[in-house]
Amino acid sequence: MQYVSTRGSAPTLDFAGVTLAGLANDGGLYVPAEWPQFSRDEIASMRGLPYAELAARVMQPFVGDCLTPESLRGLTAKAYGRFAHAAVTPLTQLDERQWLLELFHGPTLAFKDVALQMLGLLFEEFLAREDGTLTIVGATSGDTGSAAIDAVAGLDRVEIFMLHPKGRVSDVQRRQMTTVRAPNVHNIAIDGSFDDAQAMVKRIFADRDVTAKHRIGAVNSINWARLMAQVVYYFAASLQLGGPEREVAFSVPTGNFGDVFAGHVAERIGLPIKRLIVATNTNDILYRALSNGDYSTGTVTPTAAPSMDIQVSSNFERLLFDVGGRDGIALAEQMRGFEASKAMQLTNAQRDGAAALFTSMRADEDDMARAMRWACEDCAEIVDPHTAIGLHAARAVELPHDVPVVTLATAHPAKFPDAVERSTGTRPSLPARVGDLFAREEAYTELPGTYEAVRDHILGHAA
C-alpha cells in the first residue's frame, strides 16, 4: 500500500514511512493512493471476532507489506489488551433506535486511546528496525495529549513535547498529562487556543533549524495510522447491528474531523453506512462548510466540550481531497488561499461529494445539556458533554426510522465532572484504573504563545 499527499508534491511513502512522518513535507496529509475493498462476504465473515482480531483484519490492507499478519495480530492483541472492557468498544442501547458506542475504556478514558495505544507500538516497531529515534511534537485540546503520553511514556526511542492551551483543558485532562513523570515526556502550557498550538506544531514540521537536528513525528490525527485504527470500531458496531446486510448511521462529536473521517474510510472500503452525522458545538466551521460550503474561521469560543473547540479541522483536507477529484495540485492552491485569508468556498464537486454521505448538526450549550438530561433521566446513562452533542445530533437528524443511529461516546463522563453535574445533578466518579490522579505532583512549563518561545524550548530540551 502506497500513500500520497493531499497537496500532490511530497514523495509517496509506504505505511511505515507515513507512520513516522506525520505531516507530508509539502504541508499536506497522507492518504492511501487507492482504497482497498472488502466484499460483503468478507465483512460478514468478521462477525463475532474478538476486537483485536477484527482490528488486525481491517488494518492489514493498509499496513501492506510493512508488518506480517502475525506481527500485526501481536500488536493489536497487546494494544487492546490494555482496555478495561473485554469488548474494547462495547455498544449500549438507549432506546429503540439510539445506541452508544463506548470508546472510553482505555487507560486515559477517551477514544484517543483506541488509536494511540496502537500508534505507540507501531513507533517502537518501526524505529527499532532502523535503529532510529523520534521527537514527537503535538498539540492537544485535552484528550490526545494524555492518550499519547500514556502510549509513549518510558519508550527509549521516542521523546514527546505536548502543547496544551493554558486553562482551557479540564483538571482531569491536565493532570493525566502533567503527572506522568518519565524522562521522555515534556508538557508545555501555552498562552493561546488549541488552534494556535496546532499552528505552531505545523510550523515545527517545516522548520529546517529543528528538522535538521531531530526527526519530528506526529501523534495528532494528521497521522494516518491513527485514523486507520479508528476505522475498526465502525466495523465492530455495524457487525453487531446487522451489518453488512443492514445500513447503520453514526453520529460523531467532531473537532479535528479525524474520527468522522475514519467513518468515511470505513464506507469507502465497503462497510454499508447510511449517514455520517458531523456533530459540532458552537464552534461550527464544519457545520457551515457542510451546510452551505462556507469554510471560514471565526474566533474560538470555549465550551463545556473543549475537545471540539476547534476552528480549523485539519482532517477536513483529507475529505476535500478524496471527494473533490483527488487533485493535489489544485487542493494545494485552495489551501494556500485558505491559510492566507482564513476563508474558502468549497468547490461544487467537494460539496456534492461530501453531501452524499455527511450531514452536519450543531448543538449549543442548551442542546447539549438537554441531551445529557435525556440520557440520564430516560435511559439511565450518564454521558460526557462531547457525547451529549453527538446524541443531540443523532436525535435531531432525519433518517428512515428503521436505521439504527450509533453515537460515538468519545469520553468517560468523569473527565468532565463539573459540566455533567451542572446538567444532571450527578457527579460522576473516576474509575479506579486512573489511580490517585489528584494526589500526584504535576510538572509542566508555561510559555508565551509565540512560535519562537516554543521552538527554542524544544531545541533546548530535546535529547
Ligand X SMILES: *Cc1c(COP(=O)(O)O)cnc(C)c1O
Q: Measured in whole angstroms, how far is the alpha carbon of residue 237 from the centre of its chain?
A: 18
- Smaller CB distance to ligand X: residue 66 or 419? 419
List, as one string, the DSSP characters of 225-276: HHHHHHHHHHHHHHHHTTTTTS-EEEEEE-SSSHHHHHHHHHHHTT--EEEE
From residue 61, alpha-carbon distances to 48, 50, 68, 79 in Å are 20, 19, 11, 19
- Residue 115: CB atoms within 10 A of its CB come to 31
State the nearest-atom distance from the C-beta of 257 to ligand X, in Å: 5
Quickly tell me which residue has 483506541 as its cell: 114
73 or 105: CB nearest ligand X: 105
SS3 state of residue 149: helix
Give the CB-side neighbour count of residue 151, counting CA atoms within 13 A.
32
| Among candidate residues 28, 40, 39, the one with its CA nearest the CA of residue 4 | 28
Report in angstroms how near the CB of residue 264 gets to ligand X at its nearest.
12
Q: Tell me how far, at minimum, the Cβ of 328 lies from ligand X, in Å.
A: 23
Instruction: Look up residue 190 and give its amino acid.
Output: I
Is 112 a known active-site residue? yes
Using alpha carbons, select from 202, 83, 55, 54 the residue that is nearest to residue 147: 83
> In this structure, what are the phi and psi dihedrals at residue 94, rounded to the nearest 5 degrees?
-100, -45
**Count of all residues that appear for the chain in the document:** 463
Which cell numbers hold the place of 222? 494528521
For residue 309, count CB atoms less than 10 angstroms from its CB and return exposed for 0-12, middle for 13-18, buried for 19 or more. Answer: buried
Which position among 78, 112, 213, 415 bears the catalytic label?
A: 112
CB of 143 to ligand X, least distance (A): 3
- Cα 46 from Cα 57, distance rounded (Å): 8
Q: How far is the CB of 128 from ligand X (least distance, A)?
A: 29
Residues 6+ apart with CB under 8 A from 159: 133, 134, 135, 136, 184, 186, 462, 463
Binding footprint of ligand X on the chain (CB under 6 A): 110, 112, 143, 221, 253-259, 307-308, 386, 410-411
CA distance 401 to 399: 6
What are residue 32's DSSP bridge partners?
3
> What does the alpha-carbon distance between residue 419 and residue 413 come to, in Å, rounded to a whole number?
9
Nearer to ligand X, 192 or 253 (CB): 253
Q: How far is the CB of 255 from ligand X (least distance, A)?
A: 3
Residue 201, SS3 per DSSP? helix
Nearer to ligand X, 117 or 127 (CB): 117
Supply the minimum distance, in Å, between the C-beta of residue 452 and ligand X.
Answer: 27
Nearer to ligand X, 32 or 253 (CB): 253
Cβ closer to ligand X: 57 or 386?
Answer: 386
Nearest distance in Å: CB 280, ligand X: 9
Report the alpha-carbon distance of residue 237 to residue 356 in Å, rounded: 21
Distance CA 388, CA 406 (A): 12
Cα-Cα-Cα-Cα dihedral sign, residues 70, 71, 72, 77: positive
Amino acid present at 385 = P
Q: How far is the CB of 298 from ligand X (least distance, A)?
A: 18
Nearer to ligand X, 156 or 364 (CB): 364
Nearer to ligand X, 231 or 411 (CB): 411
Rounded to 5 degrees, φ, ψ at 80 are -85, -10
Closer Cβ to ligand X, 126 or 261, answer by number: 261
Active site residue ranges: 112
